[in-house]
Amino acid sequence: MKFEVTILGSSSATPIFNRNPTSQTLNINERLYLIDCAEGTQQQMLKFDVKASRIDHIFISHLHGDHYLGLVGLLSSMHLNGRKKSLKIYCPPQLKEIVDLQLKCSETALQYDVEYKFTNPDVAEVILENQDITVETIPLDHGIACTGFLFREKKRLRKLLKEKIEAANIPVEYYSALKKGADYVAPDGTVYKNDTLTFDSDVPKCYVYCSDTQYNEKYFKQISNADLLYHEATFLNNMLDRANETHHTTALQAGEIALKTNAKNLLIGHFSARYKTLNELLDEARSVFPATELAIEGRVFGVE
């Protein structure tokens, strides 16, 4: 099953040339999920060929502008481009007020339904469950109400060993039961154990999105064992005081968090505009957690 993240923006607070503020899309089994939606996100989607029409769920972590100011523009473009299917937005409650006011002022009545699910910054909750995944909020520590998001694949059905199935002449109508783990009893009474006819599907994968937050162990248990951990790394560690003051994390801390929570891979982003190049941030995170990559715009990372 496809499970990958496309970076649309990785800058913090202010854009700089070639770095847009935060946004990314997850493609999980060919469904697209948008996480945060900074100003310019719809332009980035055009640039990187991400189809807005394929997005049915939008997750907004918090109400600092660099994480949501592109939302109203995106909603308007969806409307103008003829969207009819409903859209679900997971966000702090005040975002609905902001969207409604702006739609009212532009005299726009969207041609599709928007359903809101409000996040609670104090409690980890499952906010979405469908056939592919569950999504949980992660209470972060950013001064302002802020949640990360944890995308966890569901355990998939077992897969059929075609040659064995054919050799045993098993009728098609039994396949569904076999995928769920049942044995097969042939008309002559022969019992075929399920594990001789099927094999386990891939181990479910987990993507964790932590932006924005300062270092705080309160969320470590929840995010442990991520296959891919995206964590903000706004500053180098020589600016730790500034990081604490602004409720952000350093690249060194991001590496430590990946290590302590037993992540398989780490992706750092939300870089301060002061860093014109990102190598120092990468080196710092890798000094404690080698399997680190930079969230660079347009790059696609598999959750593996």
Catalytic residues: 66
Figure out which of the listed residues 2, 97, 218, 274 binds a second copy, where binding follows CB under 8 A.
97
Please tell me the total number of residues recorded for the chain in this structure.
304
CB-based contact 238:253 (threshold 8 Å):
no
DSSP-derived 3-state class of residue 282: helix
Minimum separation from the CB atom of position 151 to a second copy (A): 26
- Residue 58 interacting with a second copy (CB under 8 A): no
- The residue (of 121 and 204) whose beta carbon lies closer to a second copy is 121
Binding status of residue 296 toward a second copy by CB under 8 A: no
Residue in 29, 31, 56, 77 binding a second copy, rule: CB under 8 A? 77
Question: Could you tell me which residues come within 8 angstroms of residue 107 by beta carbon, excluding any fewer than 6 positions away?
Answer: none
- 19 forms beta bridges with 16
Residue with Cβ nearer a second copy (10 or 42): 42
Q: Residue 53 has which token pair?
A: 């029409």
Q: Is 16 in the site for a second copy (CB under 8 A)?
A: yes
- For position 14 contacting a second copy by CB under 8 A, the verdict is yes
Closest contact distance (angstroms) between CB of 38 and a second copy is 8
Task: Please write down the HEC assignment for all residues of 208-257.
Answer: EEECCCCCCHHHHHHHCCCCEEEEECCECHHHHHHHHHCCCCEHHHHHHH
Are 44 and 69 in contact by the 8 Å Cβ rule? The answer is no
Q: State yes or no: residue 101 binds a second copy (CB under 8 A).
A: yes
Nearer to a second copy, 95 or 165 (CB): 95
Strand bridging mode 206-210 / 3-9: unpaired
Residue 80 interacts with a second copy (CB under 8 A)?
yes
Q: What are the residues binding a second copy (CB under 8 A)? A: 13-17, 20, 39-40, 42-43, 46-47, 63-66, 69-70, 72-73, 76-77, 80-81, 92, 94-95, 97-98, 101-102, 105-108, 143-144
